[in-house]
């Protein structure tokens, strides 16, 4: 009698767990309630040129969305490759291959409306309204620059290439279902940001476009939450089976890679286009295609930050096969 009772309890708990997981699997991909920006692409050549600069320069879209089989070639040469995707940023809660963002209909973003593309960059929600893994830093890109990016994407030729489906692991399924929400912009993103050699514009580029902040500041990779000092380094990033430690790059901080650098040295270093540790995930080539004024603005921002005394050691922690 007692035994049957126990079995019923165990069976009940089991069914409850299976049921919860089934609900979580559906809930993880539910349509999220975020705004649909009313932007539309422009045909204006200056707008398209600005978008092209952002996509191949500071926005480094190809670092993730470039055709995966040509990525190493791109990293070494900066030759433009189709943005057909396939690369997976390693994260602990599932596999999230970067989608094809060429104009291909069906496999690319040709069928997404301008507003839906804007929504994915600003509100982190994909074509069907499902939450995207928050890997892109563009929430606070200005209206003007977002329109420029979309306008340029619309001029790219379409290349058909199926992307592997994304797959959440059980932890990811539970987090997407019950815990994580798409990361919203901070406040109201600016309509436009004046371009100048200023720390304000440098901060805009470094935080919202080029993502220096997102890699060089320590954070929890499962949730994206920051806990380190700005640009103080320490984040461990897996890239092609190796594990890299992102260095401290504060100016004047003891043990920082940029402890004794000046503006000219910073620009000269970027112009080499080469990682200090081969195979690193740092987008050196896109950074190298930025113009001098933008690099000066970046420098002005980095130099204005609090120096952090921290030596994060060698750039490579574990060398992959
Ligand atoms: C750090 C890697 C990374 C960078 C850099 C990056 N993306 Fe993404 N992007 C992703 C991943 C991964 C996804 C899919 C996430 C998911 O499926 O949950 C994505 C999704 C998208 C989507 C949604 C597509 C869809 O089918 O719903 C668009 C549009 C997009 N990215 C455009 C861009 C543009 C434009 C840039 C450059 C300005 C860019 N991305 C830079 C990794 C990146
Ligand atoms: C995807 C993560 C990532 C992003 C984004 C990123 N970095 Fe890095 N960065 C790294 C890693 C990893 C290293 C160490 C290996 C290397 O030198 O490539 C590094 C190294 C550096 C170094 C040290 C070079 C040396 O000679 O020791 C500087 C300076 C630097 N990054 C500046 C920047 C700036 C400025 C930005 C934004 C414009 C940026 N990084 C964006 C990951 C990143």
pTM attached to this predicted model: 0.95
The predicted structure's pLDDT at residue 163? 79
For ligand 2, atom 42, the nearest C-alpha belongs to: 282
For residue 270, report the distance from its CA to the centre of ligand 2, in Å. Answer: 10
For residue 138, report the distance from its CA to the centre of ligand 1, in Å. Answer: 10
For ligand 1, atom 11, the nearest C-alpha belongs to: 98
Rounded-to-integer distance, Cα 221 and Cα 234, Å: 12
Rounded-to-integer distance, Cα 97 and Cα 89, Å: 7
For residue 43, report the distance from its CA to the centre of ligand 1, in Å. Answer: 23
Cβ atoms < 10 Å from Cβ of 46: 10
* Closest to 101 in 3D by CA, of 45, 74, 63: 63
Rounded-to-integer distance, Cα 131 and Cα 176, Å: 8
What is the residue extent of each domain of the chain?
45-178, 199-318
**Nearest ligand to the C-alpha atom of residue 243:** 2
β-strand pairing of 242-245 with 236-239: antiparallel
The predicted structure's pLDDT at residue 221? 82
**Nearest ligand to the C-alpha atom of residue 64:** 1
Written as six digits, the tokens of 193 are: 């940001």
**Nearest ligand to the C-alpha atom of residue 116:** 1
Per-residue pLDDT tens over the stretch 254-301: 999 999 999 999 999 999 999 998 889 999 999 999 999 999 999 999
For residue 277, report the distance from its CA to the centre of ligand 2, in Å. Answer: 10
The predicted structure's pLDDT at residue 106? 86
* Closest to 301 in 3D by CA, of 246, 253, 251: 251
For ligand 1, atom 41, the nearest C-alpha belongs to: 61
Rounded-to-integer distance, Cα 272 and Cα 26, Å: 48
The predicted structure's pLDDT at residue 4? 82
Low-confidence stretches of the chain (pLDDT beneath 70): 1
Q: For ligand 1, pick from 39, 98, 155, 280 the residue to mutate: most ligand atoms within 8 Å of CB.
A: 98
């Amino acid at each position: 009698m007692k035994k049957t009772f126990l079995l019923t309890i165990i069976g009940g708990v089991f069914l409850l767990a299976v049921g919860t997981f089934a609900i979580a699997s559906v809930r993880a991909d539910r349509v999220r309630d975020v705004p649909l920006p009313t932007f539309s692409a422009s045909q204006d050549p200056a707008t398209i040129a600005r978008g092209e600069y952002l996509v191949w320069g500071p926005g480094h879209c190809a670092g993730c969305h470039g055709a995966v089989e040509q990525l190493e070639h791109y990293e070494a040469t900066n030759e433009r490759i189709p943005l057909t995707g396939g690369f997976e940023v390693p994260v602990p809660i599932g596999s999230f291959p970067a989608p094809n963002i060429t104009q291909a209909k069906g496999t690319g973003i040709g069928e997404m409306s301008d507003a839906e593309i804007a929504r994915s960059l600003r509100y982190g929600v994909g074509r069907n309204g499902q939450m995207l893994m928050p890997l892109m830093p563009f929430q606070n890109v200005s209206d003007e620059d977002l329109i420029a990016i979309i306008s340029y994407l619309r001029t790219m030729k379409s290349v058909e290439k199926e992307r592997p489906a994304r797959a959440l692991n059980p932890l990811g399924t539970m987090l997407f279902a019950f815990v994580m929400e798409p990361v919203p912009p901070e406040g109201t993103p600016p309509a436009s940001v004046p371009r100048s050699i200023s720390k304000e514009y440098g901060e805009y580029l470094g935080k919202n476009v080029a993502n220096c902040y997102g890699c060089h500041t320590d954070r929890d990779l499962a949730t994206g939450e920051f806990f380190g000092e700005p640009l103080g380094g320490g984040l461990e990033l897996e890239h092609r089976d190796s594990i890299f430690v992102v260095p401290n790059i504060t100016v004047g901080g003891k043990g920082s890679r940029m402890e004794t650098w000046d503006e000219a040295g910073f620009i000269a270093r970027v112009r080499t286009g080469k990682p200090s540790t081969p195979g690193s995930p740092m987008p050196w080539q896109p950074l190298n295609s930025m113009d001098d004024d933008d690099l000066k603005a970046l420098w002005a921002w980095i130099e204005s930050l609090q120096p952090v005394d921290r030596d994060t050691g060698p750039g490579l922690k574990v060398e992959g096969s």
